[in-house]
Amino acid sequence: MSSPDNILPPKFADLLAIDPSLEPFRDVISRRYSAYHRYASTIELNEGGLLKFAQGYTKLGLNRIQIAQPRSTSATSATSATSASSEVKHHQDGTNAIVYREWLPGAKAAWLTGDFNGWNRRSHPLVLGEFGVWQLVLPDKADGSSAIPHGSALQLHLELANGSFADRIPAWSPYVVQPEHTPVYEARYYQPAQPYVFRNARPAVPHALRIYEAHVGIASTEPRVASYAHFTDFVLPRIAGQGYNCIQLMAVMEHVYYGCFGYQVTNFFAASSRFGPPEDLMRLIDTAHGLGLIVLLDVVHSHASKNVLDGLSYFDGTDHGYFHAGGKGQHPLWDSRLFNYGSWEVLRFLLSNLRWWIEKYRFDGFRFDGVTSMLYKHHGIGTGFSGGYHEYFGTEVDEEALVYIMLANDLVHRLGEEILPHEQPTPPRADSKAASALPRLITIAEDVSGYPAICRPVAEGGLGFDARLGMAIPDKWIKLLKEQSDDSWNMGDICFTLTNRRWRENTITYAESHDQALVGDKTIAFWLMDKEMYTSMSVLSAPSAIIDRGIALHKLIRALTFGLGGEGTLNFIGNEFGHPEWLDFPREGNKNSYHYARRQWNLVDDQLLKYRFLNEFDRAFNQLESASRFLTADNTFVSCKHESDKVIAFERGSLLFVFNFHPTQSLVDYRIGSPRPGRYLVALNSDDSTFGGFQRIDSSKAEYFTAPVPWHERPHSLTIYLPARTCLVLRCADEN
């Protein structure tokens, strides 16, 4: 029986029904859920609920409001702070004003300075109120204009506890830029006279996610930083035309160092200005919605940049504030700061950050970066995970971070249920046949540890994510490509890696992501074909065994991964057509070159180059999933893993997938098990000439009939011709 301090999750029985192995850890799960419940209850009691708590940006930072005539000029609390500006008493009720609040518990004094006051560092002091929050009220000018014009440069000037002085960017700044004269970013007051008006409703949530992972800055063929506008006009149509239904945008949260790939965030509420103004990002998302694409933000709450002048580190002069003090607040591998998730104001900051991106920019959810680092005190450094449950329910788990994750997922899903329905109506998706099992707003975890129940609801005792990334899968493919020739690949081992996931916990499968594209590694296409990609990719070139092998295996690897590896898929920008080379951002080591920080769309658009074959196969596979919805099918059965023949066969939904990985041996009258009788047709054939194959099967005429011959534990079977290095996907023509 649970005590008030040890509450069992209300739907814990549902979790045990899925994974009975969790029963011995009932007390640990109960303790962690109880900690979440205490935080949620306290937020409800003192802050008016989680949704209101996550609107911190309406109180902190710079907000334009109507102020009431003050009763007294002696109050100094954070809620009144009228003595912050002597001008307030000269205005009547209803006066418009800018109110600036900042959490600075360690500061001795604070001033706001900038273009608006000629950079006078002492003319506009903030007043300390409750809980370490400082405030300044700036009423409109006599002519009714704002005290701070839109676009004005701003800076927070502090006197620190030790008597020294420092400058900071306001922590809740929605827009920061890099001036030409300095590498240090500065805040700009953002209050446009004509805010962007969204025109398109959010599209309906798809039945399964086919994610296009993208980075705006590298999305141009030109060696430069590409813009939101370029991505909107030139890349979004490609993504929609390719059959993806979701975009995952990287490196949006402002980061001073371009080469960090967006993972050293300095300004959490600011969309990176190097790609354009906030309105351009809004138009990007609005346009994506109009194309039927949902958009996820790659959110980084696992750590923060160590930058002091334009980040949060030592923000109020102390080494803690938003972060843990001492070594606990330092990530030794990433050289970054670690949040103190047990701090009330840090929770407000991070949870409000999530709501900000959903409300202001209309993102449809998040891919949470670095969840493994958040979950464990060792941050995954120097630690391997065997899968033993003691690794997840012992003392190495950071339970404050765990509670934050549960609150974050709770918040996002409640926003989807309670806030989004008030937006304009959502049209049905073109590929929608039934209600989606996914929520209105989606969260995905980047976790390599395999934490149990990470993708189960908080009410069950899970962490609340909707899906996790299948991070072991790309590691397996790269390991095979590095260490073994394909004729020695173990079919059973590959299938185990692809199917080794927790039941009823959605996995996003991928053969490669941005991690495999970075300099120091290679994309799958480059591992397969780098020796001849510069000379033999023309359709006019002499036949190349390396290119033929590479194109065939690229298709097979991706098709097997997407077909068997999860309940959703992911592709990194350009990999759909076998983008050559690696990804390397401009830095001192490469003489600040943009040569490898771009996407060569010209290669796939050139009809004389073979990249288009891989692109066509990727599009056809997406279209097949959209039509058949095999990613959400309940039935998945691997019927054949034949090592010497190098054959893998499995059924998923109404489809039969058959792969021949053998480099030279084509198989005639090869028998494959089937769960149902009837006539089968080719739904997809990787050997079609459209996909750069040898057209050894005429897909338009091929028919296969089952016989009542049990095979591989299936009641029926059929025989097929299966060319070497080919994938066939068959559908039953007799099925409704």
Q: Residue 280 sits in a domain of what CATH number?
A: 3.20.20.80
**Whether 586 and 638 share a structural domain:** no
* Token pair recorded at residue 390: 């003691």
Examine the pLDDT at 433 and tell me if it is beyond 80: no
pLDDT at residue 70 is higher than 80: no
Q: pTM (2 decimals)?
A: 0.94
Please give the mean pLDDT across all residues of the chain: 93
For residues 373 and 517, state if they share a domain. Answer: yes
Q: Is residue 248 located within the same domain as residue 285?
A: yes
Residues in the chain: 736
403 and 312 in a single domain? The answer is: yes
With contact defined as beta carbons under 8 Å apart, do 253 and 271 qualify?
yes
Last residue of a domain, one of 596, 628, 660: 628
Average pLDDT score over residue span 601-605: 98
Question: Is pLDDT at 438 greater than 70 in this prediction?
Answer: yes
State residue 83's pLDDT score: 35
The CB density around residue 229, as the number of other CB atoms within 10 Å, is: 17
Identify whether 163 is part of a domain. Answer: yes
Residue 199 maps to a domain: no
User: pLDDT above 70 covers what percent of the chain?
Assistant: 94
Of 687, 684, 658, the residue nearest 671 (C-alpha): 658
Residue 660's domain spans which residues?
A: 633-732
Q: Write the CB contacts of 328 (distance below 8 Å, at least 6 apart in sequence).
A: 338
Q: What is the pLDDT of residue 659?
A: 98
- Picking from 414, 417, 423, the residue whose alpha carbon sits closest to that of residue 200 is 423
pLDDT digits (tens, 9 = 90+) for 695-708: 999 999 999 999 99
Copy the structure tokens of residue 437.
């099992």
Does 318 score more than 80 pLDDT?
yes
Shared domain check, 674 and 582: no
Looking at residue 429, its pLDDT comes to 55
Residue 601: which H helix or E strand, with range?
A: helix 601-605
Q: How far apart are CA 12 and CA 29, in angstroms?
A: 9
Q: Identify which has the larger pLDDT, 91 or 117.
A: 117
The closest of 337, 348, 407, 345 to 373, measured between CA atoms, is 337
Q: Which DSSP state fits 548?
A: H
Q: List the one residue out of 160, 178, 335 whose CA is nearest residue 263.
A: 335
From 188, 221, 249, the end of a domain falls on 188
Q: Identify whether residues 387 and 454 lie together within a single domain.
A: yes
Q: What is the CATH number of the domain that holds 700?
A: 2.60.40.1180
Residue with tokens 């004729």: 487
SS3 at position 727? strand
Give 703-708 contacts, CB < 8 A, sequence gap 24+. Answer: 703/679, 703/733, 704/679, 704/680, 704/730, 705/678, 705/679, 705/680, 706/674, 706/676, 706/677, 706/678, 706/679, 706/680, 708/677
Answer yes or no: are the C-beta atoms of 545 and 560 closer than 8 Å: no
Please tell me the distance from the alpha carbon of residue 671 to that of residue 225, in angstroms, as a whole number: 53
CATH number, domain of 116, equals: 2.60.40.10
Give the mean pLDDT of 420-433: 63
- Closest by CA to 662, choosing from 608, 591, 726, is 726
pLDDT (0 to 100) of residue 105? 97
One domain, residues 172 and 34: no
pLDDT in tens, 79-97: 333 333 333 444 445 689 9
Residues marked as catalytic: 369, 446
Q: How large is the average pLDDT for residues 301-322?
A: 96
**Distance between CA atoms of residues 139 and 336, nearest Å:** 39
Instruction: Using the 3D structure, point to which of 188, 220, 250 is the last residue of a domain.
Output: 188
**Pair 557, 575 in one domain:** yes
CA proximity to 126, closest of 76, 84, 72: 84
DSSP letters spanning 230-275: HIIIIIHHHHHHTT--EEEEES-EE-S-GGGTT-S-SEEEEE-GGG
Residue (of 482, 477, 481) closest to 512 by Cα position? 477
356-403 pLDDT, tens digit per residue, is 999 999 999 999 999 999 999 999 998 889 889 999 999 999 999 999
Q: Are residues 709 and 645 in the same domain?
A: yes
pLDDT tens digits for 246-305? 999 999 999 999 999 999 999 999 999 999 999 999 999 999 999 999 999 999 999 999
| Mean pLDDT within 93-120 | 94
- In the predicted structure, residue 669 carries a pLDDT above the cut 60: yes
The whole-number pLDDT of residue 427 equals 61
Structural domain includes residue 539? yes
**Which is more confidently placed, 442 or 81?**
442
The answer to whether residue 603 sits within a structural domain is yes
Provide the number of structural domains found in the chain.
Answer: 4
State pLDDT tens for residues 515-549.
Answer: 887 876 789 999 999 889 999 999 999 999 999 99
d(CA 290, CA 233): 13
340's tokens: 């103190």
Judge whether 512 lies within some domain.
yes
Residue 407 has pLDDT above 80, yes or no: yes
Amino acid letter, 629: R
Per-position DSSP letters for 662-724, written without gaps between them:
-SS--EEEEEEEESS-SEEEEEEETTSGGGT----S-TTT-EEE-BS--BTTBSEEEEEEE-T
The reply to whether 281 and 183 lie within a common domain is no
| pLDDT band (50, 70, 90) for residue 736 | low
* 622 domain-assigned: yes
> Does residue 106 lie in a domain region?
yes
In tens, the pLDDT along 212-225 reads 999 999 999 999 99
Q: Do 621 and 554 sit in the same domain of this protein?
A: yes
Residue 416 pLDDT greater than 60, yes or no: yes
In a domain, 510, yes or no: yes
Is the domain of 101 the same as that of 156? yes
SS (H, E, C) 186-205: EEECCCCCCCCCCCCCCCCC
Residue with tokens 């009932």: 26
